[in-house]
Amino acid sequence: MVFFALFGPLLPFEHWTFVYEDALGVTPFSPGHILGTDNNGYDLLSSVISGTRMSIFIAITAVGLGGLVGSALGITAAFVRGKIDLVLSTAFNVGLAIPNLVLALALVSVLATNVDMTNPVPIWRRVTVLVISLTIVLIPILGRIARGATLTWSGREFVTAARSMGMRDMQIIRKHIVPNVLPALIAVAFLAVGVVIIAEASLSLLGVGIPDGGSWGGMIARGRNDLEYSPHVLYIPVIFLAITVISTNQIGEVLRRKLDGREAKV
């Protein structure tokens, strides 16, 4: 998947919007189109590859941004405690109380739709808004994890010891809190990548994501209409989506174990 995402444009395929007039709805494994084409004559392999780029780009950016902001807020909340903690964790809980998809849906439809149907919103703006709204959804999730982990670690005696040595708070956070909080965050972040890919697909399916099948979700949305005639148009992006989500979860798990191996022994 990462290979597709990185080298997709270099592969010798026609752009996915290229219409093969002679091959409408060809089944997989037919000559020239390994994964077949859909009813509009788009080559599915090429579509899936460009969909990979879009989906993974959105997921990684959203998780990256959400992780940065979320962990900064979470660590601050747990380290400073008091009123700031109260405000931030209440905000996290409010954020968590709203169903993810509904929140993202609301944000996208407010920010990235145009009343004037003849003048659609440009695609870059849709992508940006999608990333931002998914980030906003992720902040409370990752923030809470960071807060919880910071609470356990900052209660350890080595933090008190560091203070008694005259370490400044920022140094303590950098040297003692962040390295210990990171494994938990990374594990959850990888899980979140999977969730975000699915969320993005769901949004596209609902028609507010990337339009016209530019991502996997968009492809699924398109394939849905032709389910009776050519089901593979739907299945192929779904299979890719499933494989990606499962593998990110696996990578997350392996990473967590690797980073946490020492802790497990204590």
Q: Which two tokens stand for residue 11?
A: 């592969």
Closest to 196 in 3D by CA, of 94, 75, 56, 67: 56
Kindly tell me which of 176 and 232 has the beta carbon lying closer to another protein.
176
Q: In this chain, which of 15, 163, 174, 257 binds another protein, going by CB under 8 A?
A: 163
Q: In this chain, which of 168, 174, 257, 258 binds another protein, going by CB under 8 A?
A: 168
Instruction: Give the whole-angstrom CA distance, residue 125 versus residue 112.
Output: 7
Any contact of residue 164 with another protein (CB under 8 A)? yes
* Among 36-44, 84-92, 106-114, 163-171, the segment contacting another protein (CB under 8 A): 163-171
How many CB atoms sit inside 10 A of residue 254's CB? 12
Q: Which two tokens stand for residue 14?
A: 């026609």
Any contact of residue 150 with another protein (CB under 8 A)? no
Any contact of residue 161 with another protein (CB under 8 A)? yes
* Among 47-55, 158-166, 209-217, 249-257, the segment contacting another protein (CB under 8 A): 158-166
Instruction: Give the whole-angstrom CA distance, residue 74 versus residue 70.
Output: 6
Cβ atoms 11, 53 nearer than 8 A: no
Question: What is the sign, positive or negative, of the torsion defined by CA atoms of 96, 102, 107, 112?
Answer: positive
Q: In this chain, which of 156, 174, 224, 257 binds another protein, going by CB under 8 A?
A: 156
Q: How far is the CB of 152 from another protein (least distance, A)?
A: 11
Any contact of residue 160 with another protein (CB under 8 A)? yes
∠197-201-207 over CA atoms, to 5°? Answer: 150
Give the x/- contact pattern for another protein in 170-209, rule: CB under 8 A: -x---xx--xx-----------------------------
Any contact of residue 81 with another protein (CB under 8 A)? no
Any contact of residue 82 with another protein (CB under 8 A)? no
Any contact of residue 152 with another protein (CB under 8 A)? no
Kindly tell me which of 83 and 262 has the beta carbon lying closer to another protein.
262
Instruction: Give the whole-angstrom CA distance, residue 198 versus residue 202.
Output: 6
Kindly tell me which of 161 and 242 has the beta carbon lying closer to another protein.
161
- Within residues 246-265, the interface with another protein by CB under 8 A covers 262-263, 265
Which spans of this chain sit near another protein (rule: CB under 8 A)?
156-158, 160-168, 171, 175-176, 179-180, 262-263, 265-266
